[in-house]
Structure 1
């Protein structure tokens, strides 16, 4: 009797809170395709995740084009972009729409409406 078992590794990935929508330059290929991703590698047996290979996971800047991954700790430029650089816009006064809503832009020189 012959049994065939398949073992391997599968990595689960998800976006990191506070870094959603941030796109940065890849240091390997130079394209603007780097995103912050948290990876959790698992050992699989017959395509079923059985054992986590890392308890915390890895937070990396991963390029969507060349698949180059670099630890987030080595990218201070990306860490500074989290949560809009730590700055939040002030809330509008009570009962008013945010600035710029329902207003026309000021006329530009040499341009007629």
Structure 2
């Protein structure tokens, strides 16, 4: 939702208040903008998170869920199959075309 808000504001240059995210009430949308995304606390946390994410030399292909969290619910993620660690690592660090997301992943996969 925040990406939608930023796109409206910074790319389309339209009033974000008048274009709420799909299925979000006008009241909730206004609350998100005014009380969450514009708050000083959120800006500080957002800046810290951005800085911390830049420290990763590469990332996995799991979206916002951490690698460790996905390992614990692996059967749900893999369609009820429980993969060995090497196979799970490969599945979560390769693109749809089966290429590694970063060359270092190949090195780490072989070295495990």
Which has the larger share of strand?
Answer: 1
With a CA cutoff of 8 Å and minimum separation of 6, indicate the structure with the bigger relative contact order.
1
The question of a shared fold, defined as TM-score above 0.5 by the shorter chain, is answered with: no
Larger Rg: 1
Which has the larger share of helix?
Answer: 2
Q: TM-score, normalising length from structure 1? A: 0.25
